[in-house]
Amino acid sequence: MTNSSAVASLWLRSQLQAGRAATWLLSELGDLVVQLEHPRWRDDPYPLYEQIRQRGPLYRGLSGTWATSSFAVCNQVLRDRRFGVQRVDGRAQGGLLGAPVPAPPEGFVELDPPDHTRLRRLAMPAFNPKRLEAYRPRVQSIVDSLLAKVAGRESLDLVRDLGTPLPITVISDLLGIPDAERGAFAEFGEVVIEGFNGVSSMRQAREVTAVTEHLVALFDRLLRERAVEPGDDVISTLAAAVGEERMTARELHGTAMLLLVAGFETTVNLIGNGMRALLEHPEQWARLRAEPELAAAAVEEALRYDSPVQSTSRVAHTEIELAGQTIKPGQTVVAILAGGNRDAQAYERPEQFDITRSAGPEHLAFASGIHYCLGARLARIEGEIVFRTLAERMPSLRLVGRPERRDTSAIRGLRTLPVTVAQRGQ
């Protein structure tokens, strides 16, 4: 190890230790914002969101960070251009307490205008609604192929056997990732996503760094190849933009990494969380089996009821009056999207899972404002096809064993969802 590497390692280790100590102390003193990342709330964070809501529309923790689980205030924060995703000095945000995280190339979701606007516009053609609707047969074909592999089995894991390989295949197709490179993408996505909360160990820091370096090398190679032989894929489109000097190679790396990870994590968690909710509410699963055309509505209710992205944060770039409080420049507001999605001021019976729900505003699962999820339509299509196909072909699905949850808080999903499959006539 070089002297500079040793110093960096010691610095990171000291920061991790200091961060853990500060988190523990603030949590013990009752800071509800810090508790958002505490493992004890990982299985069911919704009571904590309600505690924060009971403190008022905007709550400030001892750490100085603000938080809201009010639907109206979350929506206001997400839409207000005076808030940004970057700090006032232009740096990316860390964890709630500024926990150090390895710095991969930034995607546009981590940038403010004008860079956010420029890069998002370059990626948008690949996610044109008309183009995505035309992709439905391909998604159905992938689902059919995955279910054919488990045909005749009495048990399967809906996350590992279906929820994970489907979005990896779909987003890899759209990006133009070679088949030979896709095998480890589920593991890569898991490592990167678990780093979103801030690294908790030197091992995790090394894993995130290694995965980032691997993906950057892959995207750099594809950039060079597509510059010579472009195809009908996203990386070819971005490579053309690099050639025309509308984006840099590093910006391509960050955009491609963002689309790969976001295209994977949103959909796999939608499928896992949604199917768990359906199977834990037998009357709703029975309703979907009887009326498979409710699959699109079931997707929306699954997203509202147990959102894949639980929270996001914004930094005030100027002094802002919000919900009767003054937010100073540089202060952070955590918008608890999942809390807003269960706000009784926005939804009737918010704690009830109901796939026939028709009243209420559009949920915040895909955020709002200029950072509204670019891949929202794609995730909806994949979820709808999965829910409908399972209701039609595996109507006797039942949960068995205990699902394993992922070790993240801001991103909520399952590693496993074991089910039994009773064949027709049994």
Give the CATH number of the domain where residue 299 resides. Answer: 1.10.630.10
Query: Does a structural domain hold residue 118?
Result: yes
Query: Does a structural domain hold residue 425?
Result: no
The structural domain count of the chain equals 1
In this prediction, residue 398 carries a pLDDT of: 96
Query: Does a structural domain hold residue 287?
Result: yes
Query: Does a structural domain hold residue 127?
Result: yes
Contact criterion met (CB below 8 Å) for 288 and 380: no
15: number of Cβ within 10 Å? 16
Range of the domain at 171: 3-420
Query: Does a structural domain hold residue 281?
Result: yes
> Peptide bond preceding 178: is omega within 30 degrees of 0, i.e. cis?
no
pLDDT mean values, one per 10 residues, the chain (426 residues) = 49 47 61 88 95 96 94 98 87 52 69 94 89 94 97 94 93 89 75 64 78 88 93 93 93 89 88 98 98 98 97 96 96 97 97 95 96 94 98 96 88 95 59
Query: Does a structural domain hold residue 372?
Result: yes
Rg of the chain, C-alpha, whole Å: 22
Q: Report the C-alpha dihedral over residues 404, 277, 360, 381, rounded to 10 degrees.
A: 80
Please state whether 176 falls in left (phi above 0), alpha (psi between -120 and 50) or beta.
left
In this prediction, residue 196 carries a pLDDT of: 60
Copy the structure tokens of residue 364.
Answer: 């915040």
Query: Does a structural domain hold residue 177?
Result: yes
Q: Which amino acid is residue 360, in one-letter code?
A: G
Q: Count CA atoms within 13 Å of residue 278 on its CB side.
A: 36
Copy the structure tokens of residue 221.
Answer: 């190679």
In this prediction, residue 147 carries a pLDDT of: 97
Is the pTM value of this prediction over 0.85? yes
